[in-house]
Every structure is written in structure tokens, then in C-alpha cells.
Structure 1
Amino acid sequence: MPKTILTVDDSPSIRQMVGFTLKSAGYQVVDANDGSAGLTKAKAAAYDLVLTDINMPAMDGFALTAALRALPEYKSVPILVLTTESSDEMKQKGRAAGVTGWLIKPFDPHKLLEVVRKLIG
């Protein structure tokens, strides 16, 4: 059974590119257009990994990560950030919220797959 990944980003083109990259590697992908929608989907089904942007309307990636970490079923699920933010301050804020890893946009599809494979196989 393929691993399932929840991708959360307010950019339709990023969701499409990330989805294509992950699906081509055999992963099942469900997407959401902001943190609030992502949290709703995460509560409705189990995911092996969550990939989220930081800057989104309704609920940002930090709030989404903190909300997921508060749920018992997401205590140990890897949460990756895919964002344009690269400052140490933002990364520190991400670690405090419970982020597992950090990737910078524009992303390299090979690097994304390498990180995902390390985390969930």
C-alpha cells in the first residue's frame, strides 16, 4: 500500500508540481489550499507525512504544525516545510512548533524525494 502524503499550500501551481513529483514516485497525495483545510483533512484521515507552506491565509504552517502536534496521531508523523522563508528565526520558530525538516522554494524535485524517502521510505 502506498504511503500517503498531505500537501498544504495556497499556491495551486506549487500543489500541482509537488503532487506530480510525489505521485510519480509512487506516493498517494491529498492536497489542501490552506492550514485550516489541511487540519480538517488531517483529522479525517491518517497521513504518513505532511508537507506544508508557512505563509498561507486562514491558518499558517506554524499554526498547522502546532495543531497537528497536539493530536496524538500526529505526535511522530514527519512534518516538512516547503517555503520561501529561509531565515534562522523562521526555522527556529518552525522547530519550536514541531517541524521535522525545512525545504526552500523553488524546490528541487530530486531533493524533495530524497528527503521524503529518508523520512517515510
Structure 2
Amino acid sequence: MADRSAEGAVAQETETPFGALSVLVVEDESFTRMVLAKMLGTLGVQAVHQAADGESALAAVAAHAPDLVLCDVEMQPMDGFGFVRALRASPESRSRTLPVVFMSGRVDGDREAAARASGATLVLAKPVTPATLRVALSDGMRAAQPS
């Protein structure tokens, strides 16, 4: 029996490429946070952490050491731009390179330029779908790999 369990675990790892990821969802709307967490679960992500704003996200990064952050742009009291600037200014090298995927209802050249200037890895248009989330996770993790 134990051998079959091990085989099943190996099969599950290969079937869900995101299973080993730890993702922090930073979103001020609790319903949207819940939907994103469920979508991540359907994509195989087993470790999903949540924060309601940039300030609590900084604490969550320190507590959970996620592999990737999905972060809303417009939040109070600290928005996504403030969060990622604070993250990049951290003395911890891991925080300075942690992939951050901004989520925004407005994705245009100006928003993307501002996101990159603040230190975000990429911008994902809202509403987020499982397909766009899958691409964002792949692209975000690929960007984190050393060249």
C-alpha cells in the first residue's frame, strides 16, 4: 500500500506543475481573494496564503516565504505599488527577487510601465480566469529563474 501511495504522489506532482508552489494572494476584496484561492487550488497549488492589503502582505511574505505573489494594484492603506516597492527595498535578497504578479482592471502601456518601474514582474488583467492565471503562474516562475 505504501508503494502505491508514493506512486500516486509522484503522479500527482507531474500532473500538477504548481503543486509545490506557495502563493500569496493580496487582494482587498474578500470574495475575490476567495475566488483566486479556489482557482489556485484547481490549478494544483496546495499552499495558498492570503492578505487584504500591502501592509499585511509584507508580514505574510515574512511569515510564509511564498514562491510567488498575486497582488491587486488598488488597495488601502498600502496599495500594490507601495507593497512591491517596500518588498524590493527589503534587506532580504529573497524579497528583492520574489516574483510579483500585479492584477488590475486597467492594463495598458502606462500601467505596465508603472508596474515594472515599481518592481512587479508582470501584470495580469482582471477579471482573472483559470487560463490567464495558469499563464501568469508559469510566466512569473519563469521570470524568477536565474538566466
> What amino acid sits opposite 2:25 in the alignment?
T
What is the rounded CA distance, in whole Å, between the counterparts of 1:5 and 1:95 in structure 2? Answer: 20
Q: 1:97 aligns with which of 92, 114, 118?
A: 118
Q: 1:39 aligns with which of 58, 61, 66?
A: 58
Deviations 1:47-70 (CA, angstroms, capped at 9, x unpaired):
100110011011000000111112
Structure 2 unpaired stretches of 5+:
1-18, 143-147
| RMSD (Å) for aligned C-alpha atoms | 1.6
With the length of structure 1 as denominator, give the TM-score of the two structures: 0.91
Matched residue, 2:101: 80
> Is structure 2 residue 130 aligned with structure 1 residue 112?
no
- Say if 1:117 and 1:39 are closer, same or farther in 2 by CA, change over 3 A: same
> Is structure 2 residue 41 aligned with structure 1 residue 20?
no
User: Which has a greater percent of helix?
Assistant: 2
With the length of structure 2 as denominator, give the TM-score of the two structures: 0.76
Higher gyration radius (CA): 2
Structure 1 unpaired stretches of 5+:
none
What is the rounded CA distance, in whole Å, between the counterparts of 1:57 and 1:5 in structure 2? Answer: 21
Q: 1:48 aligns with which of 52, 62, 67?
A: 67
Give the number of the structure with larger relative contact order, counting CA–CA contacts within 8 Å between residues 6 or more apart.
1
Question: Partner of 1:50: helix, strand, or coil?
Answer: strand
Question: Partner of 1:75: helix, strand, or coil?
Answer: helix
Percent of paired sites with the same residue: 31
Structure 1 runs, 4 residues or longer, greater than 6 Å off: none
What is the rounded CA distance, in whole Å, between the counterparts of 1:55 and 1:118 in structure 2? Answer: 22
> What amino acid sits opposite 1:15 in the alignment?
R
Matched residue, 2:145: none
What is the rounded CA distance, in whole Å, between the counterparts of 2:40 and 2:61 in structure 1? Answer: 18
